[in-house]
Homo-oligomer: A and B are copies of this chain.
Amino acid sequence: MRIGELSRRTGVPVPTIKYYVREGLLPAGRLTSPNQASYDDAHERRLRLIRALLEVGGLKVAAVAAVLAAIDDPGRSVHKVLGAATDRIVPRYGDSAQDEELEAAREEVSELIGRRGWRVDHDNPAAEALAGALAALEGVGHGEFTGLLDDYADAAEQVAGVDIAYVGRWAGRDDVVERAVIGTVLGDAVFASLRRLAHVDVSARAFGDEGGRPAD
């Protein structure tokens, strides 16, 4: 298909598509004449992936490039590629945390990893992100929140198990990695939204004025 058709199908403006090609996010089309290129379904699918990572995942262009490079690297095991790709989409927290709070939080995370028996390096970016979030909680006087960690971890294990079972349904290595990346980013969004909906429901039951009325 021509670039105009690719744009129409995906809703991405032509100049934006050209920008992604220049930045190396999207492979160039196959030249069919000196100034005309042809795109196929693989381009369309890659373009949708880029948009999902940018818009729903909130990633920066450089992070998207790194994730795509990991997906496209044939020399790594699936587990390694999953790590390389998802390490890029770990949010950063707790930049303003005091050093001592961060140290204590890291200790707490290490203990948690040990207690759960998780096969995770203690300097994994997600472990660091968790320590940052816990340090931030401590910083605003909510250190007690740490008491919920194992309940949260139970739920996280449950969701992760479902995620991996879903990802593992695909046979191809590329598919597994792409789907893991999409699932990681969009799964966060899905879970965060569901958690808020569940909050509204339990809040209506705990603090609502009337009994049976739907609450907003």
B156, A197: Cβ atoms closer than 8 Å: yes
Given contacts A48-B141, A96-B51, contact A162 B152 (CB under 8 A): yes
A166, B148: Cβ atoms closer than 8 Å: yes
Given contacts A86-B196, A90-B196, A168-B206, contact A201 B160 (CB under 8 A): yes
A79, B118: Cβ atoms closer than 8 Å: no
Stoichiometry, as copies per complex, reads 2
B163, A199: Cβ atoms closer than 8 Å: yes
In this assembly, does A29 line the interface, its C-beta being within 8 Å of a C-beta of chain B?
A: no
Q: Which of A11, A77, A126, A205 has the most CB of B within 10 A?
A: A126
Number of A residues near B (Cβ < 8 Å) is 97
Which A residues lie at the B interface, using CB under 8 A?
11-12, 45, 48-49, 51-52, 55-56, 77-79, 82-83, 86, 90-91, 93-96, 98, 113, 116, 118-121, 124, 126-127, 129-130, 132-134, 136-137, 139-142, 144-145, 147-149, 151-164, 166, 168, 176, 179-180, 182-184, 186-209, 213-216
Extra inter-chain contacts (16) besides given A126-B196, A151-B158, CB under 8 Å: A48-B140, A48-B141, A51-B139, A52-B140, A55-B93, A77-B209, A120-B197, A120-B214, A120-B216, A129-B193, A130-B193, A152-B162, A152-B194, A155-B191, A163-B202, A164-B202
The contact sample of 13 A-B pairs, CB cut-off 8 A, is A51-B140, A77-B209, A79-B209, A86-B196, A124-B216, A126-B193, A126-B197, A129-B193, A136-B186, A155-B191, A159-B195, A168-B206, A192-B192
